Copies of this chain bind each other. A is one copy, B any other.
Amino acid sequence: MEINVGLVGYGTVGKGMLEILINNGNVIRKRSGFDIVVRAVADMNIDKNKDALLSTIPHITRDVNQLLDDENIDIIVELIGGINDARDIIHKAIVRKKHIVTANKALLAMHGEEIFKLAEEYDVIVGFEGSVGGGIPIIRVLKEDLAVNNVKEIYGIVNGTANYILTKMEKEGKEFYDVLGEAQDMGYAESDPAFDVEGIDSAHKISIISSIAFCTHIPFHKIYTEGITNIKQIDIAFAKRLNCKIKLLAIAKKYKEDIEVRVHPTIIPDRYILSKVDDVYNAFYIRCGKVDRTIHYGRGAGGSPTGSAVVADIVSIARDIKSCSSKRVPLLGFSKKFDNYYHIKDINEIYSAFYLRFTVVDKPKVMSVISGILGDHNISIISALQRGELSSNNMMPLVFMTHEVLAKNIYDAVNIIDQLDIIKDKTVIIRVEQ
């Protein structure tokens, strides 16, 4: 089965989406049973000759109306961003009964109610997983997986630029405007960074997900929004003294009759997992009545992560179009007829770094005997640790950390070493992830 897509807007995410459809066509077919075909791309600044990806697209145009009028297009993917043109295109597509996929959080935060109402009227689906949390599947999690819960609160780190700046300020001791300048030079911050550093983008996103979580429309203009431009190094230093970090959080809470939604810099203890969410990563902490706490972490932006969310929405709509059978999702998420044969590795065939704790007699040459045998098995050693104070009965622990090595070599070497009379107990072997 073929699903035909028209893409409007060919920027970072549009390109990421196209790359996924081309590179991952096999896995998408395997899981969904569909061929997703991009029939047309519309963009004001497009140049077919400058981009090899576009050579696969039959129809490239600067006129979006050609896509809207193409009766073979099932889904319009809106990735131009901004408000007015995007709103107009989505309206026109909906009344022509085309399904919509968009990553436009500003548009949905401002005009989502109107768009969803129109889509319901015309029996059209709007997928918007890419609008919040990039590669983190937070919207479907709230709509389906946590659907049977009363969501009590959400704490989100939802803007990668702001989080990157705060992380740099903390790790490098620099002031806000210095880090912002560097981030702009490296392309991590826009030349006009206001949406990111003033908290506006975060407020757009919490408006969307708190509406889903609390089952009611949360208007963007009711959200208190405070950015990070006033955060000083001295405050980060004080927070550190308190075993805390400063993060830009988007917070939404529901009480019996009240809701609060806000975006502002927040000091959180180091022991919180959210305090470990650094650089451009995003995360959502959600507390529900029944499921209790869940955390969802990943890349909040970028062509591939957001492109992946956009393509997942396309696949979901394709499943809906096909549906009318109980098999809208194959039981394991893929169709049996596409199964492949894979060799499943034995544990001996698997490479890993290792921690080896030998129990040895406290004699000279013990270290060289053991490391010699390890060397004979191509095991190279990163470090050796000894703890003299633990010796008793002339026995002591001797720990080696190895580089990555074939597991079989470790077992073979330890089998030989454990026969030696300098070894007083079975050697402990633990794998190490570096």
Tell me if A268 is interfacial: C-beta within 8 Å of chain B.
yes
What is the chain B residue whose CB lies nearest that of A125? Answer: B326
Q: Which of B215, B269, B308, B430 contacts A334 (CB 8 A)?
A: B215
Tell me if A63 is interfacial: C-beta within 8 Å of chain B.
no
CB-based contact A304/B290 at 8 Å: yes
A109 CB → nearest B CB, Å: 13
Tell me if A5 is interfacial: C-beta within 8 Å of chain B.
no
Q: Which of B239, B269, B428 contacts A230 (CB 8 A)?
A: B428
Q: Which residues on the B side are within 8 Å of A288 (C-beta)? A: 308
A352 CB → nearest B CB, Å: 8
Can you tell how many copies of this chain the complex includes? 2
A257 CB → nearest B CB, Å: 6
CB-based contact A331/B126 at 8 Å: yes
Tell me if A142 is interfacial: C-beta within 8 Å of chain B.
yes
Tell me if A192 is interfacial: C-beta within 8 Å of chain B.
no
CA–CA, A23 and B149, complex, Å: 10
Query: Interface size of A by Cβ–Cβ distance < 8 Å?
Result: 136
Q: Which of B135, B212, B324 contacts A332 (CB 8 A)?
A: B212
Q: Which residues on the B side are within 8 Å of A117 (C-beta)? A: 336
Question: 1/0 contact trace for A317-350 toward B, CB 8 Å?
Answer: 0001101111111011110101111111111011
CB-based contact B290/A212 at 8 Å: no
Contacting B at CB under 8 A, from A219-233, are 219, 222, 224, 230-232
Q: Which residues on the B side are within 8 Å of A325 (C-beta)? A: 123
Q: Which of B24, B120, B147, B432 contacts A266 (CB 8 A)?
A: B432
CB-based contact B431/A265 at 8 Å: yes
A374 CB → nearest B CB, Å: 17
Q: Which residues on the B side are within 8 Å of A273 (C-beta)? A: 273, 276-277, 297
What is the chain B residue whose CB lies nearest that of A244? Answer: B432
Contacting B at CB under 8 A, from A1-47, are 16, 19-20, 23-24, 27-28, 30-32
Tell me if A373 is interfacial: C-beta within 8 Å of chain B.
no
CA–CA, A283 and B297, complex, Å: 11
Contacting B at CB under 8 A, from A278-308, are 283, 288-299, 304-305, 307-308
Contacting B at CB under 8 A, from A139-160, are 140-150, 155
CA–CA, A136 and B295, complex, Å: 9
CB-based contact B431/A342 at 8 Å: no
Q: Which of B24, B137, B357 contacts A235 (CB 8 A)?
A: B357
Tell me if A186 is interfacial: C-beta within 8 Å of chain B.
no
Question: Which has the most chain B C-beta neighbours within 10 Å: A27, A155, A211, A324?
Answer: A27
CB-based contact A291/B305 at 8 Å: yes
Tell me if A267 is interfacial: C-beta within 8 Å of chain B.
yes
Q: Which of B31, B120, B212, B434 contacts A269 (CB 8 A)?
A: B434
Given that A146-B137, A308-B290 are contacting pairs, would A238 and B431 also be in contact in the complex, using a CB cutoff of 8 Å?
Answer: no
Q: Which of B126, B260, B328 contacts A345 (CB 8 A)?
A: B260
Additional pairs, 7, CB under 8 Å, beyond known A215-B332, A291-B309: A31-B148, A216-B340, A246-B430, A262-B350, A265-B430, A267-B433, A296-B297
Chain A residues proximal to chain B, CB less than 8 Å = 16, 19-20, 23-24, 27-28, 30-32, 99, 116-117, 119-120, 123-126, 129, 135-137, 140-150, 155, 211-212, 214-219, 222, 224, 230-232, 234-235, 238-239, 241-242, 244, 246, 249, 254, 257-262, 264-269, 272-273, 276-277, 283, 288-299, 304-305, 307-309, 311-312, 315-316, 320-321, 323-329, 331-334, 336, 338-347, 349-350, 355, 357, 385, 387, 390, 397, 399, 401, 428, 430-434
Which 8 A-B pairs give the minimum distances between C-beta atoms? A143-B333, A137-B145, A224-B347, A135-B291, A294-B298, A295-B297, A260-B345, A215-B334
